[in-house]
Structure 1
Amino acid sequence: MSDLPISLGDVLASFEALWSPRIVTRVNDYDVRVAKVEGEHIWHAHDNTDEFFLVLDGRLLISLREATGERTVTLSRGEVFTVPKGVEHKPSAPDGARILMFEPTGTPSTGDRHEEIPAHIEVTTGH
């Protein structure tokens, strides 16, 4: 962990990979991660933790499978949303986005339950 300020812009400029979160810093037992996203992720769920999203740039859609049915939340720059633990969700960014996520260290990007993982999705707990 750095004892100096961290530029999110510099971190995002340091890589090109999509759906491949980078750990910017840690807060207690949580990672603060940034990612470049475009296209669709996969349906997945985190059984033991909520997942926090902040859109830094672009537009992020999060489809949710809830007890009342499916719905999609649309987030624009500066907006946040938390997916409750256990809820199946699928992030997507048709035009690309830059996002920040806050989740417990070691949380896999594809959750605890997920669909088959296509080649464009990296299974990681962050870089």
Structure 2
Amino acid sequence: MRVLIVESKAELGVLWQKHLERQGMSVICVQSQIEATGYLAQEHVDVIVLDLILAQGSALAVADFAEYRQPLARVVFVTNTSFFSDGSIFAHAANARAFLCSTTPPEDLAAMVEYYGQTG
């Protein structure tokens, strides 16, 4: 399974990456909208772990681009804010499958990614 992590905080992205790789997943971690869309334009992914608040760019733009270029890719949104806590993210991003707090234990995030990577 191929996973793209889009997380502005490099240390958090690497933490998640290590947990996912331990589960046998192929993982790349980027920090911005430009890096994410560039990667999605060239490489196939099954799941995108996407921080809702990026320091550079828009997470919704990444999700929209993924919907266009890779319609089968599923997005697991993470955030450290209460924005979209009402579940409305699912109305804004058709490829959204989960919405988690960025403080979710990495092993729980890995379980969610594994689940959505195996299901449609």
Instruction: Confirm or deny a common fold (TM above 0.5).
Output: no
TM class, shorter-length: under 0.3
**TM-score for both structures, normalised by structure 2:** 0.27
More helix by proportion, 1 or 2? 2
**TM-score for both structures, normalised by structure 1:** 0.26
More strand by proportion, 1 or 2? 1
Larger RCO (alpha carbons 8 Å, 6+ apart): 1
Bigger-Rg structure (1/2): 1
